[in-house]
């Protein structure tokens, strides 16, 4: 009887790994460095060796492993083929088949943001829901969409790339993607800082934000202390994000938005600014969507990867 699954989350610096039991509890978590030399050709062999070592350490037989799930950055289709992952040096190949070749275990693979969304549905903030949009407010704005319990990959692996929805016609600076006015330019951690800098430069209104380092955390800390300038910035952030998520809802009509990433550490105060804007812009048939915080943090990737194996 098979009893375990491995979840693997491949990042540009480290690979996170997790050993899970069939109920979805994590039994061990560890990391190995990501070896990006030689176009990342050592990454999957290193992952395989690390999994084999863990199995030996724990006395786990191959027959007891249901499979290995993998999340990696870049477009990855539903068969596990990656179409270039620039952060890893990878070209085009089938992750599932290659890793299966090293391990002789069933392997499934998906885009890291989508896999993390799947993790939040399976064991995180979105547990109990089957139609979910996970939003990661980090350096950029990432997204992962789950429809009827399945990852929405999209035709070229760009499903859920909600950070680059056009949301502002009057933007003069370019987004990292070279477009102008992307959601990411306002709702990411760096986007919040941009909004804050612009607001502070507008006049001399007193604000705690004029002292010390500007960061998304500083903005929302000041909001909690009643700083009026910070509240204006939070409103602007909320208006952009609520508008963007209302557009997303008009397409996939989710039950719940699960908000994660660094900015989400501000906590429930975010919803005071996102939800009113969402209600304002959303089609009435989509207004019942809930907003919750992600709960798995940086472990969402390994949970979701294991979930690909255990929850499908």
Q: Which residues lie near a copy of itself (CB under 8 A)?
A: 75, 78, 130-131, 143, 145, 147-148, 152-162, 164-166, 169, 177-179, 243, 246-255, 280-281, 283-286, 288-289
The nearer residue to a copy of itself, 38 or 156, going by C-beta atoms, is 156
Please, what is the minimum distance in Å from the beta carbon of residue 210 to a copy of itself? 29
Rounded CA gap, 66 and 44, in Å?
19
The nearer residue to a copy of itself, 231 or 246, going by C-beta atoms, is 246
Rounded CA gap, 289 and 249, in Å?
8
**How far does the chain reach from its first CA to its final CA, in angstroms?**
18
Q: Evaluate the CA torsion angle 181, 230, 211, 221 in order and state its sign.
A: negative
Please, what is the minimum distance in Å from the beta carbon of residue 109 to a copy of itself? 17
Please, what is the minimum distance in Å from the beta carbon of residue 145 to a copy of itself? 7
Rounded CA gap, 17 and 32, in Å?
8
Please, what is the minimum distance in Å from the beta carbon of residue 218 to a copy of itself? 28
The number of beta carbons lying within 10 Å of the beta carbon of residue 13 is 9
The nearer residue to a copy of itself, 4 or 186, going by C-beta atoms, is 186
The nearer residue to a copy of itself, 178 or 204, going by C-beta atoms, is 178
Please, what is the minimum distance in Å from the beta carbon of residue 128 to a copy of itself? 12
The nearer residue to a copy of itself, 63 or 169, going by C-beta atoms, is 169
Rounded CA gap, 5 and 9, in Å?
13
**Residues pairing with 259 in the sheet:** 135, 293
How far CA 233 is from CA of 105, 138, 209, 298, in Å, comes to: 50, 17, 11, 27
Q: What is the DSSP letter of 209?
A: G
């Amino acid at each position: 009887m098979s009893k375990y699954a491995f979840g693997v989350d491949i990042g540009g610096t480290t690979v996170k790994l997790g050993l899970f039991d069939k109920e979805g509890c994590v039994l061990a978590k560890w990391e190995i460095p990501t070896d990006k030399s030689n176009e990342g050709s050592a990454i999957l062999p290193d992952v395989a060796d690390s999994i084999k070592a863990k199995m030996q350490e724990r006395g786990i037989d191959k027959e007891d492993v249901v499979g290995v799930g993998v999340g990696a950055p870049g477009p990855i289709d539903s068969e596990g083929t990656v179409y270039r992952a620039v952060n890893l040096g990878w070209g085009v190949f089938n992750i599932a088949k290659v890793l299966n070749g090293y391990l002789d275990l069933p392997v499934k693979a998906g885009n890291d943001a989508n896999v993390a969304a799947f993790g939040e549905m399976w064991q995180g903030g979105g547990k109990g829901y089957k139609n979910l949009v996970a939003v990661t407010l980090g350096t950029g704005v990432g997204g992962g969409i789950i429809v009827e319990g399945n990852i929405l990959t999209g035709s070229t692996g760009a499903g859920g790339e909600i950070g680059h929805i056009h949301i502002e016609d009057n933007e003069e600076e370019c987004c990292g993607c070279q477009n102008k006015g992307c959601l990411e330019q306002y709702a990411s951690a760096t986007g919040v800082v941009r909004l804050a800098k612009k607001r502070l430069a507008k006049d001399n209104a007193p604000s705690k934000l004029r002292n010390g380092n500007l960061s998304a955390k500083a903005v929302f800390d000041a909001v909690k202390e009643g700083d009026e300038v910070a509240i204006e910035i939070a409103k602007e952030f909320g208006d952009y994000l609520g508008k963007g998520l209302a557009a997303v809802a008009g397409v996939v009509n989710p039950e719940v938005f699960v908000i994660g990433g660094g900015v989400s550490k501000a906590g429930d105060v975010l919803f005071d600014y996102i939800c009113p804007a969402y209600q304002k812009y959303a089609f009435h048939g989509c207004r019942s969507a809930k907003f919750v915080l992600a709960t798995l943090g940086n472990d969402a990737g390994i949970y979701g990867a294991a979930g690909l194996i255990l929850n499908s």
